[in-house]
Amino acid sequence: MSAAVKTSAALAPITDIASLRGDFPALRQRVHGHPLAYLDSAASSQCPQAVIDAIARQQSLDHANVHRGVHQLSERATLAYESARERVRDYINAASEHEIVFTRGTTESINLVCSSLGGRLLSSGDEVLITWMEHHSNIVPWQMLCEHVGARLVPVPITDAGELDLEAFDRLLTDRTRIVAFVHVSNALGTVNPARELIAKAHAAGAVVVVDGAQAMPHKRIDVRDLDCDFYAFSGHKMFGPTGIGVLYGKERLLDTMPPWQGGGEMILTVDFDRTTFNALPYKFEAGTPNIAGAVGLGAAVDYLSRIDFPALEAHESALLEHATERVAEIDGVRIVGTAAEKASVLSFVIDGIHAHDVGTIVDGAGVAVRTGHHCAMPVMDRFGVPATARASFALYNNEDDVDQLIVGLRQAVELFR
């Protein structure tokens, strides 16, 4: 890809994280008469202006189908789409563009591996090792597959702090384990799993490793070759990009052996009624017209993230998490759910006598967006004996004012319901 693709790599890294808030137009609005305190980035993060502009430019001038036309607009759309792939490849340090498959998001990425590879790897009596802290998207596809082939889904338990029980992991990883699938950062607890260590152990046991990186991407600089994972799945909308676009990274030697999972246009070389030959990587996994503007937006999000100094970002977010944890814990009857030593900026909690949904509704009235519910991680809720939690999740644009506003909202909820 041309040198023009790498727009941001040469620019100085941004260490003053607090200066970035102004890049996000959504944060300038008021909600119910209050400044918006957006604390739901683990569900979907906001987009910086640069991402919005990139999508608008694509849709305004270059809206055409990719890989097919010889006309200018189609060529420009193809270049934009493929340059987004190259930016993603570069950003996560994948060895080749063949290893970057565009999908709708993490859920689709995991389903792709499950459908295409899972059935080939697994047979009756084999095991898929997951953890107790998975999002449903890293449970249900494996469960469906296991039922289909007569394999067993084995969840590794977690501790009272919400950390993976590493002794149990070692014990449950056996010569029957064909696939190990785990979340890098838990959306419900914030726990950061020791990914490299788990991957190395899984490989030593001969298993293929699938990592759900949905929550890691906005907080950590990911290097897939350093991790040595076989697959890494993530979503654009949790890393300051648009919805409806995501990535499956896969090692080329594995993707090469895998059959397509959806048939249609784009994924073929030749078709007649007797036989179809499939396209090369990554196109054999991208049937149909892709989300071109979404990919362009994700490329712009990756450009944006490329400029961030990640040690500075991690320091900013962990200071904010610590501050928020202290302030929230001061409220009478609060229990924090998820107290791992290694935590990303996710704060799940319950308040005695007040349902999480009521907490969410009252703080919304104070202009604060938090998520309430089971966070698509019902086994986590069961493990901690709660039906739901309220979850404040912080991204690079949050600050202490957002925490103060949350506390005002929580105090209002306590006054109203007690």
Residues that bind ligand 7TS (CB under 6 A): 42-43, 105-107, 135, 137, 183, 187, 212, 214-215, 235, 371, 375-376
Does residue 127 sit in helix, strand or coil? strand
CB of 239 to ligand 7TS, least distance (A): 10
CB of 33 to ligand 7TS, least distance (A): 26
Rg (CA), the chain: 22
Nearer to ligand 7TS, 89 or 135 (CB): 135
Contact (CB, 8 A) for 77 and 65: yes
Does residue 224 sit in helix, strand or coil? helix
Nearer to ligand 7TS, 246 or 409 (CB): 246
Start-to-end Cα distance in the chain: 61
CA pair distance 289, 276, nearest whole angstrom: 19
CB of 203 to ligand 7TS, least distance (A): 22
HEC readout, 130-147: EECCCCHHHCHHHHHHHH
Active site positions, annotated: 376
Nearer to ligand 7TS, 42 or 129 (CB): 42
CA pair distance 364, 409, nearest whole angstrom: 8
Nearer to ligand 7TS, 103 or 325 (CB): 103
CA pair distance 176, 129, nearest whole angstrom: 10
CB of 135 to ligand 7TS, least distance (A): 4
Nearer to ligand 7TS, 43 or 378 (CB): 43
CB of 317 to ligand 7TS, least distance (A): 16
What angle do helix axes 72-92 and 49-61 make, rounded to 10 degrees?
A: 150
